Amino acid sequence: MTFLKSAFAAAALAVSSAAAWEINVSASGGNATSGHQYGFLHEDINNSGDGGIYAELIRNRAFQYSEAYPVSLDGWHSVNDAQLTLNRLELPLSDALPVSVNVAPGTVCGNIGIANDGYWGMDVKVQKYTGSFWVYGAYEGNFTASLQSLLTDDVFGSVEVVSKSVADDWVEHEFELIPDMDAPNSNNTFSITFDAEGAASGSLDFNLISLFPPTYKNRKNGLRLDLAQALEELHPSIIRLPGGNMLEGLNNKTWWDWKDTLGPLRYRPGFQGVWDYQQTHGLGLLEYLQWAEDMDLEIVVGVFAGLALNGDITPKDKLQPFIDDALDQIEFIIGPVDSEWGAVRASLGHPEPFRLKYIEIGNEDWLAGGDAGWQSYMEYRLPMFQAAINEAYPHLQVVASGSSHEGLEVPEGVLGDYHPYRTPDELVEEFDKFDNDVGHIIGEVAATHPNGGIGWDGELYTFPWWIGTVGEAISMIGYERNADRIPATFYAPILRNMNRWQWAMTMLQHAADPAMTTRSTSWYLWELIAAHPMTHTLPAEGELGPLYYVSGKNEDKGSFIWKGAAYNTTDSAPIPVTLNFEGVEQGTKALLTMLTNSEEDPYAYNDPHEGNNVVDRTTFVLTANDEGAFEFEMPELSIAVLDTHLDCPNPSKKKRAVLN
Ligand code: AHR
């Protein structure tokens, strides 16, 4: 498409001479749905788990390693010339965490120790930090735990921790630290120092050194507050976890083994992941489930289905252990406390079963392993998993990891899963893709590449950008029109640590400094669309394209809802809209919330380094005219939601015009 700059006019209400775009919505006859759900996929990509939503501040806290990532002192440095040596003691902290760091005096007198740079910095504020570390070796004296500047001598806060450590065992030390002042920036470190003269052998071993700021809902081992809040404010109602590619692993021996993620951190070995860094497994299955519970999210849980990213395919006669493992996983999530895995869940503090509806078998099985992988999925892997899950848990909805568009004949009773990462034009072209299809979830969707580029052979765009966001809006509207068969749509992936990332296009960008937390253009779209759930879609008469829309009602609120977006309008002119809901009378009020791009640049984006926001969110209270219709204009590349329920969440106070 050729884009001509539009005169965006906050003139959503201006009277245009062009003929009105008439939309007549019937009061009944559409699809009753249980509501189309909007949410996101989370996997640890872009350091979006460790160093992202998982609030741990210490990087490489337990010297974990894997075949792909050798053990190292990454993130650590010595204090006062201490000698740091990675050590494999005869008595390790646990089999899962066999490597510790030995801290011995160097050539300089005085207290020695270790310091950690965090996930590329640490946010230090006057708030309660909760920490712990394990020590091996007899020591009489105090440890000093401090938060300090990496650039200056400033110490923002410290606490003395009395030693409990002994000669031949590991002893945990816990502490709380409230800094006396906020740090001016995030170039900070955390250190533990001690007087080596008090150490019987002259040195000490440390492992599992952990420090958490206050977390979302005050969960121990919980989520980073600002990121969780930004996600909660999206009004999500569903989460897909734990991947994505992360579920599949690099090979059939290193997939995301949920059993390794349970229980005390001391027993979690970590995981090499698939995104170029070692992961801690701190954000484990239970933490994911608590996240879902705390945000009141439905869950799609992916279970490993015997295919890894390198194309390792599990043969039919070796598949059963993976099926058993998936059944155990389901039992862990929803089994009664007297079941084997329900009892484990209860022992970890959650006797109540979690809420669970969807089980996805694998991830993108049409991709890794090529044709052989996909054939094995269709021939025996999907059928074997499906049969076992249907038998044990007939009420659960099984989801296959591919769609009819990759040639899957989606079995009766199963939903497919479609993952469109597309250009904006392609998303618009796919608006009606599911009009005559069987049920699917849209497990991952995002605008990723600019129009007219070279697609997957090229780079993803820099950040979510305005025209991409409008393309997403149109695809979302297309899915919601088919909400009776397409129950949920997920943005993916959602988070990107600006210091180490593999995938540019994410809903939120972040770094150690919370000032870098940036809501992308897509965040504003998804927030708006999700804030107005429909319980029914309603049939509407009117043309589609370049104005795309879905109409419906929310029976719980007694409201009519319309969601629309304009893309590639004639001469980039605004589209005058006359929207008529059957039964709506003259004088009825509706809230119209419109998103446009304040820079009038389709390539504009929200840049964490700039702290800008190119999305203009405007709300208007409209009054139905004497024919009961609402009249407004949709500028080129605009997105809007009209809702006759005026008490909508978060109507912007930025601009509010009252008509009539
Ligand atoms: O969201 C990023 C990746 O894209 C997911 O891990 C994978 O499922 C898809 O290919």
pLDDT digit string, tens, across residues 131-141 = 999 999 999 99
On the question of pLDDT at 395 being above 70, the answer is yes
The pLDDT value recorded for residue 10 is: 40
Write out pLDDT tens, residues 604-613: 999 999 999 9
On the question of pLDDT at 485 being above 70, the answer is yes
**Atom 3 of ligand 1, nearest CA residue:** 244
Q: Give the separation between CA 559 and CA 26, rounded to whole angstroms.
A: 13
Write out pLDDT tens, residues 339-355: 999 999 999 999 999 99
Percent residues over pLDDT 90 in the chain: 92
Q: Give the separation between CA 115 and CA 426, rounded to whole angstroms.
A: 49
Percent residues over pLDDT 70 in the chain: 95
On the question of pLDDT at 656 being above 60, the answer is no
- Indicate the top mutation candidate among 40, 42, 43, 239 to test ligand 1's pocket, ranked by most ligand atoms within 8 A of CB: 43
Asked if 510 and 499 count as a contact pair (C-beta separation under 8 A), the reply is: no
User: Structure tokens of 170?
Assistant: 């590991």
Write out pLDDT tens, residues 398-456: 999 999 999 999 999 999 999 999 999 999 999 999 999 999 999 999 999 999 887 77
- Name the average pLDDT for the chain: 94
Instruction: Using the atom order of ligand 1, give the atom closest to the CA of residue 363.
Output: 8
Instruction: Using the atom order of ligand 1, give the atom closest to the CA of residue 446.
Output: 1
On the question of pLDDT at 660 being above 60, the answer is no
Q: E strands along 347-480, which residues?
A: 358-361, 397-400, 414-417, 421-422, 440-447
Which sign does the torsion angle of CA 365, 370, 374, 376 carry? negative
Instruction: Using the atom order of ligand 1, give the atom closest to the CA of residue 493.
Output: 1
pLDDT category at 31 given cuts 50, 70, 90 is confident
User: Structure tokens of 43?
Assistant: 């996997």
Burial class of 395 by CB neighbour count within 10 A (0 to 12, 13 to 18, 19+): exposed
Write out pLDDT tens, residues 556-578: 999 999 999 999 999 999 999 99
How many A from CA of 42 to the centre of ligand 1?
10
Write out pLDDT tens, residues 616-635: 999 999 999 999 999 999 99
Write out pLDDT tens, residues 577-603: 999 999 999 999 999 999 999 888 999
Write out pLDDT tens, residues 249-276: 999 999 999 999 999 999 999 999 999 9
On the question of pLDDT at 206 being above 60, the answer is yes
Asked if 362 and 303 count as a contact pair (C-beta separation under 8 A), the reply is: yes
- Indicate the top mutation candidate among 246, 274, 360, 363 to test ligand 1's pocket, ranked by most ligand atoms within 8 A of CB: 363
Q: Give the separation between CA 281 and CA 638, rounded to whole angstroms.
A: 41
State pTM to two decimals: 0.95
CB atoms within 10 A of CB 514: 15
At 485, the amino acid letter reads R
Asked if 518 and 509 count as a contact pair (C-beta separation under 8 A), the reply is: yes
On the question of pLDDT at 67 being above 50, the answer is yes
User: Structure tokens of 452?
Assistant: 């007219």
pLDDT category at 659 given cuts 50, 70, 90 is very low
Helix (H) or strand (E) holding 643: strand 638-643
Q: Give the separation between CA 51 and CA 53, rounded to whole angstroms.
A: 7
Q: Are strands 100-104 and 204-212 parallel, antiparallel or unpaired?
A: antiparallel
Write out pLDDT tens, residues 4-21: 333 333 445 554 567 899
How many A from CA of 209 to the centre of ligand 1?
31
User: Structure tokens of 204?
Assistant: 């000490």
How many A from CA of 245 to the centre of ligand 1?
5
The pLDDT value recorded for residue 458 is: 79
Annotate 287-325 with DSSP letters as a single string: HHHHHHHHTT-EEEEEE--SB-TT--B--GGG-HHHHHH
On the question of pLDDT at 189 being above 70, the answer is yes
The pLDDT value recorded for residue 127 is: 98
User: Structure tokens of 184?
Assistant: 């001016």
The pLDDT value recorded for residue 8 is: 37
On the question of pLDDT at 648 being above 50, the answer is no
- Indicate the top mutation candidate among 239, 403, 419 to test ligand 1's pocket, ranked by most ligand atoms within 8 A of CB: 419
Write out pLDDT tens, residues 298-336: 999 999 999 999 999 999 999 999 999 999 999 999 999
The pLDDT value recorded for residue 16 is: 59
Give me the domains of the chain, ranges plus CATH numbers.
7-34+535-659 (2.60.40.1180), 76-212 (2.60.120.260), 246-413 (3.20.20.80)
The pLDDT value recorded for residue 455 is: 76
Q: Give the separation between CA 433 and CA 449, rounded to whole angstroms.
A: 20
Stretch 196-209: mean pLDDT, rounded?
A: 98
The pLDDT value recorded for residue 13 is: 52
**Between 660 and 531, residue with greater pLDDT:** 531
How many residues appear in the chain? 660
Ligand 1 touching residue 245 (CB < 6 A): yes
Instruction: Using the atom order of ligand 1, give the atom closest to the CA of residue 243.
Output: 6
User: Structure tokens of 297?
Assistant: 């999210």
**Atom 6 of ligand 1, nearest CA residue:** 244
Ligand 1 touching residue 43 (CB < 6 A): yes
- Indicate the top mutation candidate among 421, 494, 496 to test ligand 1's pocket, ranked by most ligand atoms within 8 A of CB: 421
Q: Give the separation between CA 628 and CA 588, rounded to whole angstroms.
A: 7
